[in-house]
Amino acid sequence: MTQAEAKNVNVWYNNFQALKNINLTFEPNTITALIGPSGCGKSTFLRLFNRMNDLIPKFRLEGMVTVNGQNVYSDDVRLDEMRKNVGMVFQKPNPFPKSIFENVAYGLRVNGINNKKILEETVEHSLKQAALWDEVKESLKKSALELSGGQQQRLCIARALAVQPKLILMDEPASALDPISTAKIEELIFELKKTYTILIVTHNLQQAGRISDLTAFLYLGELIEYNHTKKIFLNPDDERTQNYITGRFG
């Protein structure tokens, strides 16, 4: 079963066409890296899956974007319901100015879950999944803002996991972190694959190589090549892909 899909997707910002006829499918329990030079449309593409582009003025979409077989741009879709299935992690950690516990519990409370036992169990489970539990279990009431950058990013991942999404979108999740925190995040992403489907935008090609199963190379709004990561990094079919990953343009 396909977890997420983009079918004949075209996107415009006013008159500028940001994505050109993209067709991609994502299978469950895979990590797909979206790579390409700045402005190639990879973040735009990523944000289609939780409709984060909707608020951008003059944004226009043609084509279909589905998660779990449901068209996320369909008129009858409730955004809050849809986003429960699609977690998002951003480049810079963005914890709320609340306690560690309340950050993770936030999504549940928004969805009307206030049962203390359920909240405690979910917070613990999510923090364990995000490989942060052992570091914060004694200080759950501490402000999230007191955590290190790497810990804050894992907290944001725990917050995304708490509502049990199917798809997790990551937009350069480790680019603001030091190598040790980056390694932890990468290890975590690799573990999360067992349960979730992950799309990750990254400018770090070595990171794409280390963690992803599949890689999509976008250039000037077009999908140039989509294949197994090993194939892309050993012998890409398209010369533009080779030029990009070997640093010869972009």
219 binds other proteins (CB under 8 A): no
Are the C-beta atoms of 65 and 49 separated by less than 8 Å?
Answer: yes
CA gap 206, 162 in Å, rounded:
29
Residue 228 contacts other proteins per CB under 8 A: no
**Applying CB under 8 A, does 38 fall inside the site for other proteins?**
no
- Least distance in angstroms from the C-beta of 248 to other proteins: 6
1 binds other proteins (CB under 8 A): no
Does residue 236 bind other proteins (CB under 8 A)? yes
Helix (H, G, I), strand (E, B) or coil at 245: helix
In terms of CB distance, is 148 or 242 closer to other proteins? 242
CA 160, 161, 165, 167: dihedral to nearest 10 degrees? 80
Residues 187-216 that bind other proteins (CB under 8 A): 205-206, 209
Assess 179 for contact with other proteins (CB under 8 A): no
Residue pair 10/17 in contact by the 8 Å Cβ criterion: yes
Q: Does 247 bind other proteins (CB under 8 A)?
A: yes
Please list the residues that pair with 135 across neighbouring strands. Answer: none
List, in sequence order, every residue forming a beta bridge with 222; answer none if it has no partner. Answer: 219
- Phi, psi of 209, rounded to the nearest 5 degrees: -65, -40
Nearer to other proteins, 57 or 247 (CB): 247
Residue 248 lies near other proteins (rule: CB under 8 A): yes
**Is residue 234 involved in binding other proteins (CB under 8 A)?**
yes
Rg (CA), the chain: 18
Give the binding site for other proteins (CB under 8 A).
205-206, 209, 233-236, 241-242, 245-248
